Amino acid sequence: MQIPFQKLGQELKDIRQKHHESLAEVSGAVEIDIEFLERIESGQERPSEDLLILLISHFDIDEEESLSLWQAAGYYFDQTNIDRNPPTNDLNRSLVVMMALDSRILYSDNVEVSTDKKGVVVNFLQQSGQANQQIPIARIGMSHEQAKDLLQSLHQSLVNGSSPPVQKRLMVSKPRKIPKNKKSKSKT
């Protein structure tokens, strides 16, 4: 049995393992089923272009390695056409990335923070599944300076939020009694 995307799958699996992430963490980060990610890593499935972009972004893959992934996936990417006329046939199409803003609020059960010399990564987690496994629902990376600013801002918001809000009351006056109009006698 020939596995069509074995090279791509193995490369993605190696990258995931190099980053010490589980299938559940990666599938949660890019919002796909664990089973689908397993099929991709086994070479049985090819990720869509959008999903490949998400994986490349998630792992912060450099340009050379990402080009290798594009080629292993069978997507043709010609760098000579980037600033020129875009290709017209379907095999040589140009790549346009559009990201929709998501205004949903995700509530987390737990937070993991990791730091290194480059900066800070905050993983917001939720319990999920029958085993109540902690799945990342958001990962935010920032510099040390940004993390300090965030900490100050969060502290200030908590301090301001812990004091009781000033109550504003709407003044409502009692309704006035309106005298009933006497029936006027009409002259006929």
- In the β-sheet with 110-115, what is the strand arrangement from edge to edge? 110-115, 120-128, 133-142
Under DSSP, the state recorded for 12 is H
Q: Where in the chain is the domain with CATH 1.10.260.40?
A: 1-78
Per-residue pLDDT of the chain (188 residues; tens, 9 = 90+): 678 889 999 999 999 999 999 999 998 888 888 999 999 999 999 998 888 988 988 898 888 888 888 888 888 655 544 433 444 445 555 555 555 566 677 788 888 888 888 888 888 888 876 677 777 778 888 888 998 998 999 888 888 877 666 665 655 555 556 666 655 554 54
Name every residue whose Cβ is closer than 8 Å to that of residue 69 and which is 6 or more positions away in sequence: 8, 11, 12, 52, 55, 56, 61
Return d(Cα 184, Cα 186) in angstroms, integer: 6
Return d(Cα 101, Cα 96) in angstroms, integer: 16
Q: What is the pTM of this model?
A: 0.43
Domain 1-78 class? mainly alpha
38 in Cβ contact with 102 (< 8 Å): no
